[in-house]
Structure 1
Amino acid sequence: MKSYDELRRLALAWRGLADSPGERAALVTIVHTSGSTFRRVGAAMLVRADGSIVNPLAGGCPQRAIVERSLQVMASGELAYAAYNAEQGLDVLLEAGCGGELEVAIEPLAPVVPSFVDELDAILATSKPFQIVTHFPASPAMAPPTRTCTPLPVDGFAATCDNVESERLDGGTRLIETFDAPVSLVVAGACHEAVELAALAARMGWRGIVVDTSAYRLAQVALDLTGWQALEARPENLAATVRLDGSTALVSMTHNLDLDIAYLRAGAAFGAFYLGALGSQRRARTIASAVPAAALRVPAGLDIGSNTSREIGLAIVAEIMATRHKRDGQALSHTGRPIH
């Protein structure tokens, strides 16, 4: 499965081929897996003729072997499938410590921008749920893979997180990737902690906004992040200024109890899936009594021993991600369940 950030990088790199006539590239997509593997079905990597890559699938032996096969596909100009498992003597997964099996489709990319990339860019700009359906032919000699990108209606959309399905058909494989709307992070309070939180969220590919009741404080915030804004907005007009819905995570760090409560209430009123605030356990009890919402997390963040502003931001981003994917945030070594 690809993330929003990976989709954007792939689309940008695909467009870059048209700007460099003669440059060759291949797109590698995981179409089937069994057992423990380094990435899920749907994950994709673009390989250039010089061996450089966009969206690495994994480190070590598997990736090196896949890149080498991709260079062969560029030379032949034909779609190829490659399986990596012990039975076939391709034990690169075992060497990497995974032990599972996977199959990848490797397709040569023409130096033109397909309509699919235009469709993808348009949908990514809407911040709404969508679905990508890819048909991989049974034989490399058949037609090349085809892709469609379709927006999904917001009303009645039942997915709680991203999902992927891979179906083997007589005519090949159909890959269905369903993407929920991307996380929209609203940070209330123009402060150093807000900047650190926004910077970490931006690295995840999330977009968002820092709001404050003071234009002066906002002017002191250096927020040079793609897809982020800093705007003046009071709690009572927050919904008219920013996106507030089921894909919104709102973190209030105004260092003012009444303001924190007001911002959190605004987020709760519009169904934000995550509501967080800083503070002690005593402060948390006061906020919880004023904002009785299941999405409330105070003190915000996972218990990882955070001390600095950046560490606190990391703990909060991790908790938002765990909440989004309905995980409890405990150590993987204690879960006893598959990672993906």
Structure 2
Amino acid sequence: MKEIKHILKQFEEAEAEEKMALATVVRVEGSSYRRMGARMLVSENGTWIGGISGGCLEGDALKRARMAILKGKASTITYDTTIDDDHQIGVGLGCNGVIDVLFKPINRADKGNPLEVLKSTQEGPRKISKLVKVTRSEDSDLLGELILFNGVESLQRLNEKLDTNQLAELIRELDKSKNIVINEELTLFVEVLPPAYHLVLLGHQYDLYPLLRQTLELGWDITVVAPKNKVSAIKGVQVITPDEFDQMQTDDYTAVVLMSHSLHTDKENLRKLTKKNVRYIGMLGPKVRSERIWRELEEEGDQIPEQLMPNIYAPVGLEIGANTPDEIALSILAEIKTVFSGKEVAHLRERSQPIHERDRPMTFK
């Protein structure tokens, strides 16, 4: 999400006459540093933002993107790092992966161009967006088309002979990005794009600021709940009062950390959270402190709902030997990412399976 925000910012700040192309990773087979959906925006002057790999393919991608700008046509290029061919870009990298990258010139006059579509996913309420990109088509004008899926009607321009009702149902059921092979003439990449993680911090002490700095670097949304005169203004950080927190909406991508350093305040905030949909609640301080809060709430008739207890992480953070506020912030953010990704905490060297789940394209029937 951070990459998308930076790309859109670059696009909006560029001169109107500056020509650009968007490179997008649309298929990965085997191992790759970046996964499907990684993007790189290239200007005709050779500057770019974002990335499609760890830096090893960007040089060639820059040339391909500028060629797309020059020709005014989209193209899909395959980078194969599994073969020993001196003429193959990526040979010798040892990544053992095959990557398809789609290069699409941006037509600013077309309000349906890929960057305008991406921009629309960032507007309005937080939501999961599903983007449909044409990655193979005999119709050169259709190649590279990006559609924001919002029902059967949004798919009509793909192919008049296509069963769009069946395709729409398939897209609705997707919970992760997938390639869909419609037929020999048409392949789609459906990207499931969730909203940015939203970190809500309830507290205003000095240990708040390392968390803010690191969260901003990750590109997550941030809200601080505290008296506004207690928190220094930081660009990109929303500050709301405790009264406003009562009306704040949460979702499956919201994490809340109680860090007021006041037992009474943390207890009252946890009481409020029992009435909200929160997937992650972190509590700063030793476990005995959290257990006391839970016990007092139960005695006061506000027992923590049984279904909410697995979502409470107390003490907050992973065990990484953290001591300083910066290290503690790192452990908290790492735990949130682990929980939201549905991963078990482990060393990568202990994995016998690939780090990333392998993409298996779907065949449309």
So what's the TM-score if we normalise by structure 1?
Answer: 0.84
Q: How does 1:217-228 map to 2 (within 5 A)?
A: 218-226=228-236, 228=237
Equivalent residue, structure 1, for 2:198 = 184
Kept in 1: contact 2:84–2:91 (CA 8 A): no
Equivalent residue, structure 2, for 1:156 = none
Cα deviation, 1:270-323, whole Å, max 9, x if unaligned, reads 120100011123324434555461111111111222222122112111111111
Equivalent residue, structure 2, for 1:121 = 119
- From 244, 262, 269, give the equivalent of 2:268: 262
Equivalent residue, structure 1, for 2:239 = 230
Separation (CA, whole Å) in 2 of partners of 1:144 and 1:14: 21
TM-aligned CA distance change 1:231 to 1:16, over 3 Å: closer
Equivalent position SS for 2:274: helix
Count of residues in Structure 1 that have an aligned counterpart in Structure 2: 322
Kept in 1: contact 2:33–2:54 (CA 8 A): no
Equivalent position SS for 2:196: coil
Cα deviation, 1:209-264, whole Å, max 9, x if unaligned, reads 1112xx3xx413213132x2222215xx7332x22333321101010123213222
Separation (CA, whole Å) in 1 of partners of 2:175 and 2:33: 18
The question of 1:200 aligning with 2:195 is answered: no
Letter in 1 for 2:242: A
Kept in 2: contact 1:62–1:96 (CA 8 A): no
Q: How does 1:1-340 map to 2 (within 5 A)?
A: 4-17=1-14, 19-21=15-17, 23-85=18-80, 86-87=82-83, 89=85, 91-112=88-109, 114-115=111-112, 117-125=115-123, 126-139=125-138, 141-150=140-149, 163-169=176-182, 170-212=184-226, 215=227, 218-226=228-236, 228-233=237-242, 238-240=245-247, 242-287=248-293, 291=304, 293-340=309-356
- State the 1:68 CA deviation: 2.4
Report the identity percentage: 24
- State the 1:195 CA deviation: 2.3
Cα deviation, 1:95-133, whole Å, max 9, x if unaligned, reads 333111111111222244633544543442321222111
- State the 1:162 CA deviation: 6.6
Kept in 2: contact 1:93–1:99 (CA 8 A): no
So what's the TM-score if we normalise by structure 2?
Answer: 0.78
What is the RMSD computed on CA atoms of the aligned residues? 2.8
Kept in 1: contact 2:7–2:50 (CA 8 A): yes
Cα deviation, 1:116-164, whole Å, max 9, x if unaligned, reads 5445434423212221111234348443422222469xxxxxx9x9721
User: Which consecutive residues of structure 2, in runs of 5 or more, have no partner in the other structure?
Assistant: 152-171, 298-303, 357-365
Cα deviation, 1:22-41, whole Å, max 9, x if unaligned, reads x2222111122111111112
Separation (CA, whole Å) in 2 of partners of 1:185 and 1:225: 15
Kept in 2: contact 1:28–1:105 (CA 8 A): yes
Equivalent position SS for 1:192: coil
Larger of the two Rg values belongs to structure: 2
Separation (CA, whole Å) in 2 of partners of 1:91 and 1:309: 47
Cα deviation, 1:174-208, whole Å, max 9, x if unaligned, reads 11112234322211011222222122222222113
Letter in 1 for 2:281: L
User: Which consecutive residues of structure 1, in runs of 5 or more, have no partner in the other structure?
Assistant: 153-158
Cα deviation, 1:43-86, whole Å, max 9, x if unaligned, reads 22111223221112223422222222222322333222211114
Equivalent position SS for 2:232: coil
